[in-house]
Amino acid sequence: MKRTALTLAALLLAGCAAPSVQQDAARDAYLFAYFIKNGEDGLHLAASTDGYRWEKLGGGASYLKPTVGKAKLMRDPCIVRGPDGVYHMVWTSGWNENGIGYASSTDLVNWSAQRELPVMAHEPGVLNAWAPEIAWDADAGHYLIYWSSTIPGRFKEGEGVGDDKYNHRIYATTTKDFASFTPTTLFYDPGFSVIDATLLHAQGKDWLLVKDETRHPPKKHLQLAARSADGGYGAPAAPFTPPGLWTEGPTALQIGADTIVYYDAYTSKHYGAMRSRDLVQWEDVTAQMQFPDEGTPQRMRHGTAFRVPAGLLERLRRN
């Protein structure tokens, strides 16, 4: 098993939340950045004050339409708030691209010009760059951007048991200013095809939440890998999502003593959630959740949840 030696901040929070921003939990709210259909119309937002009842904002309209990449899609959006209060977003810009999308905003309504970050352009045979996420590392003073890609023939483990010719691993780069980036490196290799990684801080430790993308026999479940002493992540623990349910796009929030992991049950076409207080025993709390447009073509797809000041949510609702 190969593990990254990249150093992460000890206080990284769930999903795309920014650990560096000091917030009053009693006055915070939560946002969910997501896409609908194939991602052709861009960014959608949902809001909650308790993490269970989610309402779509803007009447369900797109907050930002995609303009970069060959396919010009905006799938799997991930947003983090930096220490200066600026929100940075990355997304999957197409199914078979070597770059990802990027834009920034101070209010989640008005956005900078979109850019394509060529994170895998140095690998001429790469098949994709999927589900990028971004996190602020306060200790290192930089942003970490990580995603999944398949480089044909690079890994023997996982060959021939995934979907078609895909055999993904997680890669990463860092940046301080979004103008220069460190060379792309291998971030996580658990010995099988893995996608949709997201960082989680709970129980005083850092974790990596991933999806096993093995197709033959089907796995498609979510697992947690603990951060090890060398700064990497070890072997993932046993799956914690419902047996037989194909899941993707995990994202997590820490709400009080509870860790809530949301996921897209994409073949069943609904959103689900698991809850835990020790990351060992998990409870399915899907029935307690309320997501926008469930059961319709406008339903949420592979989103990321993050904490924001309550005042921002109030302004978004007014607009």
pLDDT in tens, 54-103: 999 999 999 999 999 999 999 999 999 999 999 999 999 999 999 999 99
3-class SS letters over 2-50: EECCCCCCCCCCCCCCCCCCCCCHHHEEEEEEEECCCCCCCEEEEEECC
The boundaries of the domain holding residue 118 are: 2-318
Domain containing 303 — which CATH number? Answer: 2.115.10
Helix (H) or strand (E) holding 314: helix 310-318
Pair 38, 73: CB distance under 8 Å: yes
Tell me the one-letter amino acid at 309: P
Q: Which of 306, 269, 313, 317 is nearest to 291 (CA)?
A: 269
Mean pLDDT of 309-314: 96
**pLDDT tens, residue by residue, 105-122:** 999 999 999 999 999 999
Domain tally, the chain:
1
- How far is Cα 199 from Cα 224, in angstroms, rounded to an integer? 10
pTM to 2 decimal places = 0.93
Sorting pLDDT into bands at 50, 70 and 90, what band is 211?
very high
> What's residue 114's pLDDT?
98
What residues contact residue 26 under an 8 Å CB cut-off, 6+ apart? none
Rounded to whole angstroms, the Cα distance separating 13 from 268 reads 29
Q: How far is CA 275 from CA 47, 83, 255, 257, in A?
A: 19, 29, 10, 10
CA neighbor of 34 nearest in space, from 311, 305, 316: 305
Give the CA count within 13 Å in the CB-facing half-sphere of 17.
28
Count of Cβ atoms closer than 10 Å to residue 33 Cβ: 28
Q: What is the pLDDT of residues 125-164, one digit of tens each?
A: 999 999 999 999 999 999 999 999 999 999 999 999 999 9
Distance CA(288)–CA(125), nearest Å, equals 44
Beta-strand pair 270-276/258-265: antiparallel
Strand order from edge to edge, sheet including 28-35: 55-56, 44-48, 28-35, 301-309
* 3-state SS track over 105-143: ECCCCCECCCEEECCCCCCCCCCCCEEEEEEEECCCCEE
Mean pLDDT of the chain: 92
pLDDT digits 0-9 by tens, 240-258: 999 999 999 999 999 999 9
Q: Is 53 within 8 Å of 255 (Cβ atoms)? A: no
Task: Write the pLDDT tens digit of every residue in 276-301.
Answer: 999 999 999 999 999 999 999 999 99
